[in-house]
Amino acid sequence: MANLPPSLSIGAASFAAPSPPPPSPGASSSSSSAAAAAPGAAKDRKMASAEQLVLDLCDPELRENALLDLSKKREIFQDLAPLLWHSYGTIAALLQEIVSIYPSLSPPTLSPGASNRVCNALALLQCVASHSDTRIPFLNAHIPLYLYPFLNTTSKTRPFEYLRLTSLGVIGALVKVDDSEVIGFLLQTEIIPLCLRTMEMGSELSKTVATFIVQKILLDDVGLRYICATAERFFAVASVLSQMVQALADQPSPRLLKHIIRCYLRLSENSRACTALNSCLPNALKDGTLNNFLQDDHVTRRWLQQLLHNMTMAGMGGAPHGGLDHIMGM
């Protein structure tokens, strides 16, 4: 009924059974107890359903349907992540799904059906990566490394794009919570080049998620120092950011532009990087070409103003500072 259009819902209600008579005074206490117990019973049934679907993941005959159902309902199953992580053989079954499509990556022969199935498995891993109780064990088991081959693909077909985007979603879930342990792991395992690859050739949505990941890495002091430690690393990031800005002039994307500007602003808070930006910041950010896309985004406009101010200070021999972050309480 919840999915019916309003007109059908109203029509269906007219065929419902008549309302039961009000309970007698003597039955009120038992009815109240039953009503109070109803939410708990519903929760128990929901958890039992989740447990059964998790058990089905270990049965090759039932796994595909279990993947689909769990990925669709993962938001309504409380504590699904610990259940997935601690139940016997479940993570191994999800990794089996991931590894099974490696042969389809090169040459690129991944079918839509196979892509959908493995993306359902990735959605469950994203659930595990998002949960506070399972995030670090997930990281310590090096599970993200199984996703890196998907981020190293270059095919622009829909199955591969969907695969990249869902894989980036797992990494994005890890970096959403500010945790230097997560950032350290991603840097050690060379996530930056994989994100830059997607930022160069992915769809608008996958570019946005990849840029968000780079942004979160830059916002961590360890990440900023890592990227600014060598000219090669800095210019690799700056070059891809510049290419995306130039492309936005033809295909605008305000949400992608927002993440790009935040990356540039963070880079400008490193004195060496800020000086280098004076020679490589795209003119479109300096001459107002993209200002129309920021009219309603006051936060990003202020980020851009602070970026340009930091660069001006660096050009005059002054030190860039994080004044905007301080003003905005960030």
Q: Are 217 and 196 contacting, i.e. CB atoms less than 8 angstroms apart? A: no
Separation CA 114–CA 127 (nearest Å): 20
pLDDT tens by residue, 37-95: 455 555 555 666 889 999 999 999 999 999 999 999 888 887 899 999 999 999 999 99
**Percent over 90 (pLDDT), the chain:** 69
Entry pTM: 0.81
pLDDT tens by residue, 186-244: 999 999 999 999 999 999 999 999 999 999 999 999 999 999 999 999 999 999 999 99
Q: How confident is the model at residue 287 (pLDDT cuts 50, 70, 90)?
A: confident
Contacts of 64 (CB under 8 A, 6+ apart): 117
Q: What is the mean pLDDT of the chain?
A: 85
Is the pLDDT reported for residue 100 higher than 90?
yes
pLDDT confidence of residue 322:
42
Q: How confident is the model at residue 34 (pLDDT cuts 50, 70, 90)?
A: very low
pLDDT confidence of residue 297:
83
Is the pLDDT reported for residue 132 higher than 90?
yes
**Percent over 70 (pLDDT), the chain:** 81
Place of tokens 């059964």: 52
The domains of the chain, with CATH numbers, are: 50-177 (1.25.10.10), 185-317 (1.25.10.10)
Is the pLDDT reported for residue 3 higher than 60?
no
Q: How far is CA 125 from the centre of its chain?
A: 12
pLDDT tens by residue, 257-282: 999 999 999 999 999 999 999 989 99
Is the pLDDT reported for residue 36 higher than 80?
no
Average pLDDT over residues 127-131: 96
Separation CA 306–CA 268 (nearest Å): 9
